Structure 1
Amino acid sequence: MTMRNTKLLATPALILALTACNMAPKYVRPELPVPETTAAAGLAGPGEGAAGTVMTVSAETAWHDFFVDPRLTRVLQMALDNNRDLRIALANVEQARAQYRVQRADLLPTVGVTGSAAYQDQPFAGSTGGAVSGRTDTYSASAGVSAWEIDLFGRIRNLSSAAQQEFFASVENRNAAQTALIAEVATAWLTMAADQERLRIAHDLEQAFGQTLELTRARFAKGIASELEVRQAQTSYDQARADIAASTTRVAQDRNALDLLAGTALTASDLPSGFPETDVTLDELPAELPSELLLNRPDIVAAEHRLRAANANIGAARAAFFPRISLTAALGSMSLGLSNLFGSGSDYWTVTPSADLTIFDFGRNTGNLRYSRATYDAMVATYEKSVQSGFREVADALARRATMADELEAQVSLRDAARSAYRLSDARFRAGVDGFLVTLDSQRTVYSAEQSLIAARLNRATNMVEIYRAIGGGLN
């Protein structure tokens, strides 16, 4: 290869070394528009939960370590493997990755190879004065680049950076979808467990109300009880029957919801038969969380990536005010015979640089720049709102948790007291000491207390799931 060809090949590398100008503003992360810590102020001491226990579990605990019930973890894994919404989110990531690769490719020249042959037969004057036919065959082969934009002012690099940040945002959107899916599946599973427990209680009380109804009818037949007491006993019994039908429907709907979330039909061994006696999640998380922890939430990370993309787009809009310099170059060989195509003296090269600068665009570039700046301002506000929303979600969940232990303890005590009152009133009724209304009222109080206790246990369990989701969850 000749020296001039070597210099030609080195030209693009020299140009690349000169493309160091970047018109994008220096990115600075906005200050967090929230307090330094999230805590249920006045409800729990530093480092203590509602019950006064030291909380040590990291907020980055992986989901398969946070959820400790084996049936629930199996359902969660099936959802991660089969849920269609999560598959859509993953496909969106691949789309963004491909778009980034397409945009990044503009930074480098596209090298092409061409080959051609031309056959020409035309008459010319012979030595005797007559016309003679002659044929000329021309062959050529070349490799080169066509209209490669030399990114002196960073327009293409900023567009590539923006596409990369959008790709990163799509990854975080997928992570946010996974975190939301885990929380939704866990909540649906716990809801089904609570409805199964309500169904069991309804069956138990139906039996108790049925015994009371039979006893009241027998007393009415002997003239001891009135028809009013029979009708009152009948209403409680029928209410229990109606609750059984409603709870059965809810359990079936809960099963359908879990099947949809899991993306497959679940087996009975994966489903709860009642509310678990032990916790299905780890029960210890920090009572106070630094606000910087919110920066790990996938939705907030995605918002910052979109903010970075908007910042890069400002640089691309600024670069549009400067000339666009492009280069077309080719290196090849040409000869009149195919056998001599790559012979000595047949090589050639061409270099055609060009510059394009818009003089009058009637405000197009200015409008694009203003649009990019306005988009950046909107992304700043979006990012700050995401942080504020995340802070509130965590603070609300912690505030709810701070009083939940006392509420649950009160509901247990209320249920136990209602059971004791029912046993005493039933015994006094059977002994003829008290009237039927006292027993009927005690039965209804027990039923209400059992339902309230289930609701309190469900709230406590789902509160831990909400805290886990609010702080961003674990994705390992």
Structure 2
Amino acid sequence: MQKSLITMAAVAMLAGCSLAPVYERPDQPVPQAWPAGDAYKGVPQAAADAKPVSEIQWRDYFADANLRKVIELALANNRDLRVSVLNIEKAKAQYNIDSAALLPKLSASVSQTASRTPSTLSGTGESFINRQYTGGLVMSAYELDFFGKVRNLSEAGLQSYLGTEEARRAQQITLVSEVANAYLTLIADQQRLKLAADTLQSQQTSYDLSKKRFDSGVTSGVDVYDSQTSVESARNDMAVYTAQVALDQNALVLLVGGDVPAELLPSGDLNAVTQLAAIPAGLPSDLLRSRPDVQQAERALRAANANIGVARAAFFPSISLTASGGSASTNLSGLFKAGSATWSFIPQINLPIFDGGVNRANLNIAKADRDISVAQYEKSIQVAFREVADALATRGTLDERVASQQALVEAAEKSYRINEARYRKGADSYLNALISQRALYAAQQGLISTRLSKTSNAVTLYKVLGGGWQPELAPPRG
């Protein structure tokens, strides 16, 4: 009997069966090509040998040296990313706990058992104390994994652990894009502040001229008040964008996880900072599988699939072994001497007969969790496809928007110069100059916003296409 059980245990450990369903990746519930139409005509087609975005590392993608340094600071100090790294360590430790159940647990112990027999119960009429000392190795309740219960638990733990790694990758890619967008937004608001300052200076000059002409009796007070409204509007914008620049810097500091050195803060314009590498477009939709959030959803699906095997194994007998071997003696000095060897072997078979439907309910729960994970995986694919399609649609129209906005600025500037010159020569009232000035100011603000949209879209495309993961620098000590 003993040899049979040992043989069965060896066979189970080497070639045990698994009751988990064979994993099959669900079909993608999205088209096999990106959308086409007027919105996508401006998207450049990818070359046949174009490198996938998931293989383009962020250090190669962002060309501005200061921006790269700011991103490096964020990767080393951002607290959300640090939590993601610690979650990986936690999941890895949990996986080690789950996988440890595949091996028997041995422990060494030395114990004493003492009992006193009263005189009324002893055969000699005298009380006495009986002592027994034991020591050796103990293997407690090692379950033979005939039906793959332990291995499926370990597989589920492994997939959860790998899922946390994918979550960390997604967190890093998101952080890189957030830092880049915060950096670009700061540049745009700095430009808006400068535009407001230039406008205030220009309108202050026009206001001074209007006031002099009014004092000379050349014009009415309406021109003075119209000019003053433009001055006060520009002054208000100065205050608004001064605060906004400070808010942008605070947001960047939070993302970086510490102060940003002054020499790394942007001081140029959007065109100078965002000379980013081109992203190949027109890629097949199966590229979405490289996104870490999609891979994380698939890891969760694999874990749910393994849990079905765990639930199914509960319907079958389980065999556990408890064994010990060592020495026993009535005297401590007699332990481990010749003739004191002792051992015990306790196999136990547990056959479920009636559990009130608990095992069936657990199996139904495991299947429902698997179906939920399938739906979540498919939803992650659909969300990823929608995000890429939106980014491509925006990109396909941005060049036309920038060109039209630039033409609008040029036309508004010419109109303002003509009306301003007519007013200075006394050929027209200040109202037309004021209207054209406001149109120019709005067009210039719109041009800054459109350029920001174009550069931010490049960052968004890098993120939604699963931009290449790259290990961050080690966090500074202390």
TM-score (norm 1): 0.90
Matched residue, 2:251: 257
The CA distance in 1 between the partners of 2:419 and 2:354, in whole Å, is: 94
Structure 1 pair 21/381, CA: closer, same or farther in 2 (3 Å)?
Answer: same
Is the CA contact (8 Å cut-off) linking 2:62 and 2:277 kept in structure 1? no
Matched residue, 2:19: 23
| CA displacement, residues 290-336 of structure 1 (integer Å, 9 cap, x when unaligned) | 11111111111010000001100110000000112110011212345
Is the CA contact (8 Å cut-off) linking 2:192 and 2:448 kept in structure 1? yes
Matched-pair identity in %: 44
Is the CA contact (8 Å cut-off) linking 1:40 and 1:287 kept in structure 2? no
Counterparts of 1:24-173 in structure 2, within 5 Å, are 24-43=20-39, 50=43, 56=50, 58-60=52-54, 61-117=56-112, 138-173=132-167
Which residue, out of 424, 436, 458, partners 1:464?
A: 458
Which residue, out of 410, 421, 425, partners 1:416?
A: 410
Counterparts of 1:133-282 in structure 2, within 5 Å, are 138-282=132-276
- SS of corresponding position for 2:270: coil
- SS of corresponding position for 2:283: strand
The CA distance in 2 between the partners of 1:373 and 1:133, in whole Å, is: 64
Counterparts of 1:361-376 in structure 2, within 5 Å, are 361-376=355-370
Deviation at 1:43, TM superposition (A): 5.0
The CA distance in 1 between the partners of 2:5 and 2:333, in whole Å, is: 26
Deviation at 1:456, TM superposition (A): 0.5
Is the CA contact (8 Å cut-off) linking 1:121 and 1:134 kept in structure 2? yes
Is the CA contact (8 Å cut-off) linking 2:13 and 2:145 kept in structure 1? no
Structure 1 pair 246/140, CA: closer, same or farther in 2 (3 Å)?
Answer: same
Which residue, out of 396, 412, 429, partners 1:402?
A: 396
The CA distance in 2 between the partners of 1:9 and 1:364, in whole Å, is: 29
Structure 1 pair 136/51, CA: closer, same or farther in 2 (3 Å)?
Answer: closer
Structure 2: runs of 5+ lacking an equivalent: 471-478
Equivalenced residue count is: 465
Structure 1 pair 135/454, CA: closer, same or farther in 2 (3 Å)?
Answer: closer
Deviation at 1:8, TM superposition (A): 11
Deviation at 1:275, TM superposition (A): 2.8
Question: Partner letter of residue 309 of structure 1?
Answer: A
| CA displacement, residues 216-270 of structure 1 (integer Å, 9 cap, x when unaligned) | 1111122221111111111011000000000011111111111111110112222
The CA distance in 1 between the partners of 2:191 and 2:118, in whole Å, is: 103
Deviation at 1:393, TM superposition (A): 0.2
Counterparts of 1:273-352 in structure 2, within 5 Å, are 273-335=267-329, 341-352=335-346
Structure 1 pair 40/250, CA: closer, same or farther in 2 (3 Å)?
Answer: farther
The CA distance in 1 between the partners of 2:466 and 2:146, in whole Å, is: 41
- SS of corresponding position for 1:277: helix
Is the CA contact (8 Å cut-off) linking 2:19 and 2:148 kept in structure 1? yes
Which residue, out of 437, 446, 450, partners 1:443?
A: 437
The CA distance in 2 between the partners of 1:11 and 1:143, in whole Å, is: 21
Matched residue, 1:377: 371
Is the CA contact (8 Å cut-off) linking 2:323 and 2:343 kept in structure 1? yes
Structure 1 pair 22/261, CA: closer, same or farther in 2 (3 Å)?
Answer: same
Deviation at 1:283, TM superposition (A): 4.0
The CA distance in 2 between the partners of 1:303 and 1:242, in whole Å, is: 49
Matched residue, 2:474: none
Matched residue, 2:353: 359
The CA distance in 1 between the partners of 2:238 and 2:126, in whole Å, is: 108
Question: Partner letter of residue 21 of structure 1?
Answer: C
The CA distance in 2 between the partners of 1:329 and 1:281, in whole Å, is: 70
Structure 1 pair 138/9, CA: closer, same or farther in 2 (3 Å)?
Answer: farther
Question: Partner letter of residue 296 of structure 1?
Answer: S
Matched residue, 1:127: none
Measured on the aligned residues, the alpha-carbon RMSD in Å equals: 2.8
Structure 1 pair 39/289, CA: closer, same or farther in 2 (3 Å)?
Answer: farther
Deviation at 1:57, TM superposition (A): 5.2
Is the CA contact (8 Å cut-off) linking 2:289 and 2:295 kept in structure 1? yes
- SS of corresponding position for 2:143: strand
Matched residue, 2:423: 429
Deviation at 1:163, TM superposition (A): 1.3
- SS of corresponding position for 2:29: coil
Structure 1 pair 120/319, CA: closer, same or farther in 2 (3 Å)?
Answer: closer
Structure 1 pair 433/145, CA: closer, same or farther in 2 (3 Å)?
Answer: same
The CA distance in 2 between the partners of 1:118 and 1:188, in whole Å, is: 71
| CA displacement, residues 137-178 of structure 1 (integer Å, 9 cap, x when unaligned) | 754321120111111111111111111111111111111111
| CA displacement, residues 84-119 of structure 1 (integer Å, 9 cap, x when unaligned) | 111122222222111111111112111011123467
Question: Partner letter of residue 416 of structure 2?
Answer: Y
Structure 1 pair 450/239, CA: closer, same or farther in 2 (3 Å)?
Answer: same
The CA distance in 1 between the partners of 2:236 and 2:35, in whole Å, is: 43
Structure 1 pair 386/411, CA: closer, same or farther in 2 (3 Å)?
Answer: same
The CA distance in 1 between the partners of 2:117 and 2:458, in whole Å, is: 90
Is the CA contact (8 Å cut-off) linking 1:39 and 1:287 kept in structure 2? no
Deviation at 1:358, TM superposition (A): 2.1
Question: Partner letter of residue 28 of structure 2?
Answer: L
Structure 1 pair 362/9, CA: closer, same or farther in 2 (3 Å)?
Answer: closer
| CA displacement, residues 33-66 of structure 1 (integer Å, 9 cap, x when unaligned) | 1111225545556xxx647896945302111111
TM-score (norm 2): 0.90
Structure 1 pair 133/421, CA: closer, same or farther in 2 (3 Å)?
Answer: closer
Deviates more, 1:396-405 or 1:437-446: 437-446
- SS of corresponding position for 2:217: coil
The CA distance in 1 between the partners of 2:6 and 2:115, in whole Å, is: 37
The CA distance in 1 between the partners of 2:146 and 2:44, in whole Å, is: 63
Structure 1 pair 19/349, CA: closer, same or farther in 2 (3 Å)?
Answer: farther
